[in-house]
Structure 1
């Protein structure tokens, strides 16, 4: 976008002024210009073997965005209509047992959703908390997760240290979290969903999730949860 806006401001221009105004490297500017040309947002003419680039009117960008929005809306509509079938296909392709490591917040969401997908309707989502429920990103994520689980009539049950009681009552109780509190300090945040056990390590740089798929292991965690 910075290259397109810079060209609007410059008018007809060679590459040099575009680089200076957009503050990007020469290696990137050619790639971006080619993409903008392909989209019809930039054109060029040759003057004495030198390319002079010109931005298309903003109305062209507006029309392009409107077209993309319609395409995205259609994809979303198709996905909404077929999400159950797609999830069922994914369930069938998941290995019966195994372990994976996920790094970063986006990967963390993928691990959670894979585990949640394995929970049968009207099942249970269990977790052991060690005290990271006050993270702003996680608050938003858990709120969204609670809504998704509610649609499948899956109950959310957790056990946290007594020191977290006020936090869960303030932020999570309204989303249907059924909590128990204990003096036990668990070694790591752990989630039990379907046949998955997710163990979370909250590194300063990025979260790491160890996803373990094992029916026997998940059942042993459920038994431990109910014993507390």
Structure 2
């Protein structure tokens, strides 16, 4: 990810990014050179600078009654991020109040790409406490790819850090490979010759279906009834 894209993801506008970078390159400067360097019209420079100052990313001094602007230390970006994070954390309780109980919700969501699947599985971990468990009908041959080995190695590291447990039902034909590449702490796997669904994750009123095709996707169904049926099916399959 390049510099401008990183700044954009922090919430800076295009003009704020151009002016901030120009300030870093120019050092202490007035609005004329800053406008020329950044490409932001003079009519918009003060407005943009005010926003950067409010975000703690710029400041100015008066020299002969003329404002000279400069960029704040780039390390202040960390403080800017922490402030945004704290503001969000302060509002989480209010957001939770507005959220309906998951037991009352029936909905389906689709997450695409590796980032999307990561989000879906991170949501799983966020909804489970230390010592709690989720159940999985494991993927099949896809598990043999290096990409998935690395993906699940990282995921199970996060799972173990939180102390969440998992039981998996895996195809018997994959037993040797699975024990070598995918068996982690806090995991119990059962190897069977049954024909069962694959890529299914079952937890707290949610069922995730992973499809590892050309565009990896996660389909998440939130439904107490659907969850209970999948959970019952898993337990029946586990106990055969």
The answer to whether the superposition gives a TM-score over 0.5 is yes
Any conservation in 2 of the 1:196–1:215 contact (CA below 8 Å)? yes
Q: Note the 1:158-173 alignment, pairs <5 A.
A: 158-173=168-183
CA drift of 1:190 comes to: 0.7
Structure 2, unpaired ranges of 5+: 5-12, 39-69
Matched residue, 2:164: 154
Aligned residue number for residue 182 of structure 1: 192
CA drift of 1:151 comes to: 4.9
Q: 1:37 aligns with which of 1, 19, 33?
A: 19
Q: What is the TM-score with the length of structure 1 in the denominator?
A: 0.63
Count of paired positions: 189
Does the residue aligned with 1:145 lie in a helix, a strand or coil?
helix
Q: Which residue of 2 aligns with 1:218?
A: 227
Structural mapping, 1:21-60, within 5 Å:
35-39=17-21, 40-43=23-26
Q: Select 1:192's aligned residue among 202, 223, 236.
A: 202
SS in 2 for 1:186: coil
Q: Structure 2 length normalisation: TM-score? A: 0.60
- Map of 2:143 onto structure 1: 133
Question: Does the C-alpha gap of structure 1 residues 174 and 199 become closer, same or farther in structure 2, counting only changes over 3 Å?
Answer: closer
Runs of 5+ in structure 1 lacking a partner? 5-30, 54-59
Cα separation, partners in 2 of 1:89 and 1:142, compared to 1, 3 Å:
farther
Structure 1 vs Structure 2 CA RMSD: 4.1
Distance 2:3 2:179 in 1: 49
Indicate yes or no: 2:117 matched with 1:117: no
